[in-house]
């Protein structure tokens, strides 16, 4: 006789396993960490940039007060040394903020105790500090970048960045695309398997070595071709060409993958209709692989914009608003590296300015990267 089955308690139910849960949570946290990194980038860049734009920066003028003043005085005798202030400027004397109204006979006539500070007595020899207010409008329209002189136009840096990237793409796009077409449509598998790694070696060389290459090979070469007077020792052309070589493998490898992914049947159909090899490659395969190639180019542009060491070594140290590729001009990345090369003190004008430039750089590359993903999704031709 069959004994009645006693249900083993919960034997068929899924038992909660504590260790599994803990492990899964830990793994999830590791995945989440990447979100924190992005959040950290946006938070830190945003916070310091807001500080850069939203706060009056105090800059030492090296101009001391010539005679002691009492809280009631409105005329301040100043020495001849140091940077002169303009009427309307905010000045700070030992914590008290004053507004300069006019300059009479070399003395500053001021409004005392501005911005909730109290007029106080000051001894002779106290050095004046000048208030500088970086504004967003000036940041994007000003044509001079000299934070210590109160000029905050990012255009010279942006212009140099775009020029270097433009030259780089002019070099990398035709070369990379032609290489990709040759490797995918013409080369034998054996040739492809030897040539592709050679180009990939180019991608593995550290960028600082490319910087060395730009300064010791490309610049002298350009100076020999175009003349010593035309080409400066530091110039954007040299940096741009070398960055073009640097991103060449990126363009060629991704494009080649996109071209190879186009199904064989398309090519055979084209041959069957009497198309030559070139016509098949350019009119059939290239359009079919458009999304992949466009994505490659955009990623390469984004890489060129963010490239640092080549421009830091070869493009010049000093912001300059010029459209001449043979002249020195500092890019955004080059500026960040030069400014932070020394011991940068926190909360200084320079410290905050690299965050403002960094935020702009981050947004530019982010938009490009997202755009390239969009292109891949939107324009991908799916063949089954």
Partner 1 sequence: MSTNNLHSSNLPGRHRLGRVWLVVFQVALVVGVVALCALLFNILNGSFGYVAVQDKVNPATLAVDGVPLEELDKDTLIQVLQANISAGLMARYEFDKPFAERDAGEVYDLILERVVAPEFVAQWSLYESLTNAGEVRATAAQEYPEARLEFRSWLNWHFLRAPQSSYPEIAGVRTAVLGSLWTISIAVLFAFPVGVAAAVYLQEYAPDNLINRIIQTNITNLAGVPSIIYGILGLAIFVRALGAFTSGIAFGVTDPATANGRTILSAGLTLGMLVLPLIIINAQEAIKAVPSSLRQASYGLGATRWETVWHHVLPNAMAGIMTGTILAISRAIGETAPLIVIGASTFIQVDPEGPFSKFTTLPIQIYQWTARPQSVFRNLAGGASLVLLGLLLTMNATAIILRNRYRRSQ
Among 57, 159, 291, 302, which residue interacts with partner 1 (rule: CB under 8 A)?
Answer: 302
* Residues between 68 and 97 that touch partner 1 (CB under 8 A): none
The tokens of 285 are what?
A: 């395969």
Whether the Cβ atoms of residue 251 and residue 315 lie closer than 8 Å to each other: no
289 conformational bin, left if phi > 0, alpha if psi -120 to 50, beta if neither: alpha
The nearest distance, CB 124 to partner 1, in angstroms, is 34
The tokens of 20 are what?
A: 């599994």
Nearer to partner 1, 21 or 68 (CB): 21
Binding mask 13-52 for partner 1 (x = CB under 8 A): ----x-xx--xx-xxx-xxxxxx-xx-xx--xx--x----
Give the torsion through C-alpha atoms of 259, 261, 263, 267, to 10 deg: 10
Nearer to partner 1, 76 or 312 (CB): 312
Write down the H helix ranges in the chain: 18-54, 136-141, 155-181, 189-204, 207-213, 219-226, 236-260, 264-272, 277-279, 286-288, 290-306, 309-314, 332-341, 349-379
Q: Does 146 bind partner 1 (CB under 8 A)?
A: no
Nearer to partner 1, 121 or 367 (CB): 367
The tokens of 288 are what?
A: 């079919």
Nearer to partner 1, 59 or 302 (CB): 302
Nearer to partner 1, 253 or 327 (CB): 253
The nearest distance, CB 80 to partner 1, in angstroms, is 35
Residues in the chain: 384
Between CA 83 and CA 67 the distance in angstroms is 18
Whether the Cβ atoms of residue 347 and residue 50 lie closer than 8 Å to each other: no
Nearer to partner 1, 139 or 210 (CB): 210
The nearest distance, CB 232 to partner 1, in angstroms, is 15
The nearest distance, CB 254 to partner 1, in angstroms, is 13
Between CA 185 and CA 238 the distance in angstroms is 32
The nearest distance, CB 317 to partner 1, in angstroms, is 9
Q: Does 139 bind partner 1 (CB under 8 A)?
A: no
Whether the Cβ atoms of residue 130 and residue 151 lie closer than 8 Å to each other: no
Between CA 237 and CA 230 the distance in angstroms is 12
Binding mask 327-366 for partner 1 (x = CB under 8 A): ------x--xx--xx-xx-x-------xx--x--xx--xx
* Residues between 167 and 206 that touch partner 1 (CB under 8 A): 174-179, 181-183, 186, 195, 198-199, 201-202, 204-206
The nearest distance, CB 137 to partner 1, in angstroms, is 24
Nearer to partner 1, 97 or 251 (CB): 251
Between CA 291 and CA 379 the distance in angstroms is 5
Among 136, 208, 230, 269, which residue interacts with partner 1 (rule: CB under 8 A)?
Answer: 208
Nearer to partner 1, 151 or 202 (CB): 202
Q: Report long-range pairs for 281-284 (Cβ below 8 Å, ≥24 apart).
A: 281/181, 281/185, 281/186, 282/181
* Residues between 241 and 280 that touch partner 1 (CB under 8 A): 245, 248-249, 252, 276-279
Q: Does 234 bind partner 1 (CB under 8 A)?
A: no
Q: In the 8-state DSSP scheme, what is residue 78?
A: B
Among 142, 307, 320, 325, which residue interacts with partner 1 (rule: CB under 8 A)?
Answer: 307
């Amino acid at each position: 006789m069959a004994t009645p089955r006693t249900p083993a308690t919960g034997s068929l139910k899924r038992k909660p396993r504590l260790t599994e849960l803990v492990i899964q949570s830990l793994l999830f946290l590791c995945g989440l960490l990447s979100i924190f990194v992005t959040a950290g980038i946006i938070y830190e860049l945003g916070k310091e940039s807001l500080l850069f734009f939203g706060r009056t920066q105090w800059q030492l003028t090296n101009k001391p007060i010539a005679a002691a003043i009492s809280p009631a005085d409105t005329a301040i005798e100043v020495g001849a040394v140091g940077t002169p202030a303009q009427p309307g400027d905010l000045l700070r004397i030992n914590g008290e903020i004053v507004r300069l109204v006019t300059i009479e006979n070399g003395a500053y006539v001021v409004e005392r105790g501005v911005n909730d500070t109290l007029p106080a007595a000051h001894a002779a020899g106290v050095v004046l500090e000048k208030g500088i207010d970086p504004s967003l409008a000036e940041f994007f329209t000003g044509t001079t970048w000299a934070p210590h002189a109160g000029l905050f136009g990012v255009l010279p840096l942006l212009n140099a960045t775009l020029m270097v990237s433009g030259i780089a793409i002019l070099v990398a796009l035709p070369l990379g695309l032609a290489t990709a077409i040759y490797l995918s449509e013409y080369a034998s598998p054996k040739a492809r398997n030897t040539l592709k790694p050679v180009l990939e070696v180019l991608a593995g060389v550290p960028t600082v070595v490319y910087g060395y290459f730009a300064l010791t090979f490309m610049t002298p070469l350009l100076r020999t071709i175009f003349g010593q007077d035309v080409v400066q020792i530091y110039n954007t052309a040299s940096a741009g060409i070398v960055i073009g070589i640097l991103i060449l493998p990126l363009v060629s490898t991704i494009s080649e993958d996109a071209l190879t992914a186009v199904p064989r049947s398309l090519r055979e159909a084209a041959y069957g209709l009497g198309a030559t090899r070139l016509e098949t490659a350019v009119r059939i395969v290239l359009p079919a692989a458009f999304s992949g190639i466009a994505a490659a180019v955009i990623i390469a542009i984004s890489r060129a914009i963010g490239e640092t060491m080549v421009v830091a070594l070869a493009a010049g140290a000093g912001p300059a608003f010029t459209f001449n590729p043979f002249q020195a001009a500092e890019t955004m990345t080059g500026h960040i590296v030069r400014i932070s090369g020394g011991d940068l003190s926190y909360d200084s004008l320079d410290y905050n300015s690299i965050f403002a430039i960094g935020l702009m750089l981050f947004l530019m590359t982010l938009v490009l990267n997202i755009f390239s993903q969009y292109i891949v999704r939107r324009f991908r031709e799916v063949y089954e």
